[in-house]
């Protein structure tokens, strides 16, 4: 993303550079407007490679009629919006099989890993990445200092970070969550402009992007389902309830949700089990990837109109975004934890890597107390993989609550 000609570096770029050192094909997916094209046109070495996009109809026609001609332009290429021609992937496969020194980056707004034809054709030939909306560290121009990975290993936060605390934290957390974190929207100032931008984004998605991955017979039904799903973001996904309220069959609702996943707007977060012998909820939790999108789809046009409980759900969505980004950089997976039956115990997120897990709770509050860590302590008691816990909150200081549980300001996660 550029503002006044300044490109804001993305933390994922280093992983992409590592991947092209050994992999002939790198696939970069992500929702529309996450900044995929901007990254590839500004970061070394991709900015010096031949760039083409299937948004250009002449290029798309050439790819479908004479793909070898297109691939013959250069041995190092960036091909954008490649989901518009899934059959072109077969030609990419043949090209890299003939010459393993070739390097091709395929980029698209659909999750190409979920398109069966793509994943089968590129099996053993491609590395996959997903570019997410901005995290706060990227917006502030900070490099990833690795504190989260270190915490996952040690259960401790370094003294320099503790001393720095959350200095410089944006106190207007609610405005940031309402606005969202897609590159084009992060610099908008007026709430009316933010609301209009998201309305245009959804309209473009419904009228354009959906055609790349699926046929939707009745767009109003799909739009209504999106709104109902947004109102339930950060909650257990109850598909039958959404089907009833939307007036759709469960099969149709399930298909629509799968399309949202394929276009990188929505995520079903799986529950964490590990080797814990407790009764656990098995249904996923529902999340829209960007808090601004969730707020817009839910019908909120100003910060003041967003209820406190839903604002808390938006903060939880933002923390999940950050954890996914950290997982894509350092490895690891994100889950949630909740028991069922009797007195339920729940932890918002569990970040697992290897034989270590960190528990993460989210609180839209400036104040944290010991009672806020009770569910973390429960998880610690029943899991021999527990390394430490974090409470991500709207305060300004890093606080050590126990030996390995800390409260951390939201903009530092």
- The domains found in the chain, sorted by start residue, are 2-130 (3.40.50.300), 136-412 (no CATH)
Sign, CA dihedral 35-137-14-265, equals negative
d(CA 145, CA 158) in angstroms, rounded, equals 11
pLDDT along the chain (413 residues), means of 10: 69 96 94 94 96 95 95 96 88 94 92 64 87 91 85 84 53 90 93 96 83 76 94 95 94 92 92 71 92 96 96 97 92 91 86 94 92 92 92 92 93 87
**The token pair that represents 412 in the structure block:** 């530092």
Contact 107, 28 (CB under 8 A): yes
Q: Which of 163, 227, 173, 145 is nearest to 362 (CA)?
A: 173
Contact 20, 105 (CB under 8 A): yes
Element (H, E) at 41: none
Burial status of residue 159 (CB atoms within 10 A of its CB: 0-12, 13-18, 19 or more): exposed
**pLDDT value at residue 193:** 97
d(CA 222, CA 402) in angstroms, rounded, equals 47
Residues 6+ apart with CB under 8 A from 192: 301
d(CA 338, CA 355) in angstroms, rounded, equals 20
d(CA 85, CA 209) in angstroms, rounded, equals 13
Residues 6+ apart with CB under 8 A from 398: 157, 161, 162, 165, 166, 406, 407, 408, 409, 412
Q: Which of 193, 312, 202, 322 is nearest to 265 (CA)?
A: 202
**pLDDT value at residue 333:** 94
**pLDDT value at residue 162:** 57
**pLDDT value at residue 42:** 95
d(CA 327, CA 305) in angstroms, rounded, equals 33
d(CA 136, CA 318) in angstroms, rounded, equals 10
- The answer, yes or no, to whether the previous bond of 15 is cis (omega within 30 of 0) is no
**The token pair that represents 314 in the structure block:** 């938006």
pTM of the full predicted structure?
0.91
Angle at CA of residue 163, ends 161 and 168, nearest 5°: 80
**pLDDT value at residue 349:** 97
**pLDDT value at residue 117:** 63
């Amino acid at each position: 993303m550029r503002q006044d000609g300044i490109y804001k570096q993305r933390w994922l770029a280093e992983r992409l550079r590592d991947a092209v050192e050994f992999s002939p094909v790198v696939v970069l997916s992500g929702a529309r407007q996450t900044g995929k094209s901007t990254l590839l046109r500004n970061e070394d070495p991709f900015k010096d490679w031949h760039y083409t996009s299937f948004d250009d109809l002449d290029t798309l026609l050439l790819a479908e009629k004479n793909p070898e001609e297109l691939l013959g332009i250069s041995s190092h290429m960036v091909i954008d919006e490649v989901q518009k021609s899934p059959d072109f992937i077969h030609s990419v496969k043949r090209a890299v099989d003939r010459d393993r020194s070739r390097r091709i980056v395929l980029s698209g707004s659909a999750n190409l890993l979920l398109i069966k034809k793509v994943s089968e054709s590129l099996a053993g030939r491609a590395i996959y990445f997903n570019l997410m909306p901005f995290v706060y560290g990227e917006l502030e121009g900070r490099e990833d200092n690795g504190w989260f990975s270190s915490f996952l290993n040690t259960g401790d936060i370094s003294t320099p970070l503790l001393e720095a605390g959350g200095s410089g934290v944006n106190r207007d957390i609610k405005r940031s969550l309402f606005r969202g974190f897609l590159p084009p929207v992060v610099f908008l100032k007026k709430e009316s402009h933010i609301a209009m931008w998201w309305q245009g984004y959804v309209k473009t998605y419904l009228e354009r992007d959906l055609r790349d991955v699926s046929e939707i017979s009745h767009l109003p039904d799909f739009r209504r389902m999106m709104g109902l799903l947004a109102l339930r973001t950060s909650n257990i996904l109850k598909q039958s309830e959404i089907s009833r309220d939307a007036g759709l069959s469960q099969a149709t609702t399930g298909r629509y949700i799968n399309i949202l996943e394929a276009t990188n707007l929505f995520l079903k977060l799986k529950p964490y089990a590990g080797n814990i012998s407790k009764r656990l909820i098995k249904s996923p939790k529902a999340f829209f990837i960007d808090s601004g999108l969730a707020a817009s789809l839910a019908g909120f046009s100003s910060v003041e109109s967003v209820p406190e409980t839903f604002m808390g759900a938006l903060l939880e969505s933002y923390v999940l975004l950050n954890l996914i980004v950290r997982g894509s950089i350092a490895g690891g997976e994100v889950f949630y934890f909740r028991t069922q039956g009797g007195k339920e115990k729940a932890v918002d997120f569990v970040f697992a890597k290897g034989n270590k897990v960190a528990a993460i709770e989210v609180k839209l509050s400036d104040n944290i107390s010991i009672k806020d860590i009770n569910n973390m302590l429960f998880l610690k008691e029943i899991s021999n993989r527990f390394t430490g816990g974090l409470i991500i909150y709207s305060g300004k200081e890093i606080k050590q609550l126990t030996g390995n549980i800390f409260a951390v300001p939201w903009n530092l996660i």
